[in-house]
Amino acid sequence: MRNQFWKYGVAGVFATGLAIAGCGGQAPSESGSSTSSTEGSGSAGAKLTGTIKGDGSSTVFPISEAVAEEFGKKHPDLKITIGVSGTGGGFKKFIAGDTVLQDASRPIKDKEDKAAKEKGIEYIEMPVAYDALTVVVNPQNTWATNLTVAELKKIWEPGSKVTNWSQVRAGFPSKPLKLYGPGTDSGTFDYFTEAINGKEDACRTDFVSSEDDNVLVQGVSRDVGALGYFGLAYYEENAAKLKAVTVDGIKPSAESVNTGKYKPLSRPLFVYIEKKAAERPEVAEFVKFYLTEGKELVKNVGYVPLPDDLYTASMKRFDDRVVGTMYAAKDAKKKPLPELMAG
């Protein structure tokens, strides 16, 4: 989310190789991670040093970077690096032991959980925010103000032959339909395909895909017949260039997410912490800061904060070193987050 990167003065590198540098951050490292230099106004409490390495979702990245930037002001001798390899790419690094913090825009997959166990990696799973996947069209699109879940499935399902807006609904104009979406390593892609098409990764292949949301924004903003999707915060950062579509008559917003009305495209966002790293004081303090003062930063970068009791529940999971995923059960994804957090 380019404007947010600049806002917080950090540096980022996407998996596509696009570098975005802010006025207060250091240059990206050769490894493709973004480095938040923690030079700030002095430390509060115990002096923290060392390095915290993270990677993962481009959706969660603005939250983690904002938190790292603010935490760094209190602890100038601590370095926090956050890469942006996508949720899937980030989990590969996390399981390999290259990182101790994993940003994720979907829960860990069974195969990732299995790989972590085989590598002896234990993790603590913590929800940190809500998001609303937002379907967007070009501002000059005057016909598609609302789409149903069935119509989105008709457009995006595997083998779909829909290439013109007139094929989506009777009365829509005969205009070419060009699709833009996140890459297959993205948690956003995983969540959208399961929510809309009924199965993760089940999707037509003839669309423009990118791990860099800015590519998707530019594509939709320049083509009157285009349609795409990504997180709510990125839409809000680019609202002048895009138009959000309501889904089954419900607008994506903080209110519709919190009331549970924006279905099925609202979702929780996660941070995973490697259990051994959780014993390090700098990691423990960073997590505490993330789940307390980070709530306002979630709001500042355009996402939906969790209710206070869920932040408390996330903090308890960390304090009690609860390892593993809440989503191990077959139907867990169908349950609301408060129910899962309650055990």
10 C-beta neighbours (distance < 10 Å), count: 29
What is the pLDDT averaged over residues 200-229?
94
Residue 302: the pLDDT is 87
Residue-wise pLDDT tens digits, 48-63: 999 999 999 988 999 9
Instruction: Count Cβ atoms within 10 A of the Cβ of residue 21 and give its class: 0-12 exposed, 13-18 middle, 19 or more buried.
Output: middle
At 12, the pLDDT band (50, 70, 90 cuts) reads: very low
At 331, the pLDDT band (50, 70, 90 cuts) reads: confident
Residue-wise pLDDT tens digits, 97-136: 999 999 999 999 999 999 999 999 999 999 999 999 999 9
Cis peptide preceding 28, ω within 30 of 0: no
At 45, the pLDDT band (50, 70, 90 cuts) reads: low
Residue type present at position 285? E
- Residue partners of 68: CB distance under 8 A and separation at least 6: 10, 36, 38, 52, 80, 82, 286
Task: Give the global pTM.
Answer: 0.80
Mean residue pLDDT of the chain comes to: 87
Residue-wise pLDDT tens digits, 288-326: 999 999 999 999 988 999 999 999 999 999 999 999 999
